[in-house]
Structure 1
Amino acid sequence: MKKLLEIQSSVRQENSISRTLSNQFVQTWKTAHPDIQHIIRDVGIDPPAHPTELWTKANYTAPEARTPEMIAALAHSEQLIAELLGADYLLLGVPMYNFSIPSNLKAYLDNVVRVGRTFAFDKETLTFEGLATGKKALAILPSASDYSPGTPMAQMDFCKPYLRAVLGFVCIEEVTVVSVPN
């Protein structure tokens, strides 16, 4: 069974354009794909913890050498990564906050973009390889202004380029972005 992981990052539960549009997409998607398993990760309402010194140390320690405290520090990150790697499709509801993504989504991404889990690093060649292969992503990005190319605000859009870069880094290269200026 195919899985759709919906990641919501708006802190608003009511009057959220990204939530409304995501919900409309999911309802239409489920009609067309009734066998899809839909998982919601709401980092807007329940954000993951930011990485800490212990988290970082644990992340760079070989799994077999991690202490119980290190394992506990990475437990939620591991859960988030399992959801991500288990999904076939991603739907990201991402309102633009101050020209970029919400900080709670950044905390989520900091938890899932991890060496040895969603990307590999070759110390000999100093190269990276994404490990989250075979996924497609749709990002719905409402904003208070028009950031389209050629508009006066275009240079202030750090949301789309960042999302494309970070998703591409872990090898989610088929990313569709729907900008919704309002």
Structure 2
Amino acid sequence: MKVVWHLFGLVWLFALAGCDEQVPPPPPAALDRTAQGFFCGMIVADHKGPKAQIHLEDRPTPIWFTSVRDAVAYLRMPEGGPRITGVYVHDMARAKSWENPGDDAWVPAEDAIYVIGSNRRGGMGALETVPFSDRTKAQAFVKEHGGQIVALGDIPESYILGTGAEENALSPRNEPQRPQPNSEKRKSQ
């Protein structure tokens, strides 16, 4: 499964790079009260925790996400829409606070490492994918709030997509769990 996500990451980077030309990504946009969450339609600035913005080729403004977890879910959706030209997440190593990370703390999503499985909840009160540009600060966060550090492509699908296993996506040793025999059978009953 890790190989699949590593390949996904490479494909995504090639998609960002484009086939014929190297166009630099747009800079991160300022988050204001007009930004609405792509999936929920709510005002992004009203939510605590890290946020994300995805820039698309055919849009002058980014699409916004009340949580980084939602943005990662968007990135994992089947292709077919406009080309992604940039993805930024709040860098919690430089954020002002959990309540208001600020506009000076954006980092390209592919440059961040992520803490999953912590006790901190994102914008909609769900599990969050917490980005950091600094491994030492990510380790301090894990020490205080639990979880594990992973690369973007190593975040378990069940954690991101909420398939019912997200609360148990990590074993007691903070490693991805393998599905239990007959677990799919029980879900369908």
TM-score by length of 1: 0.26
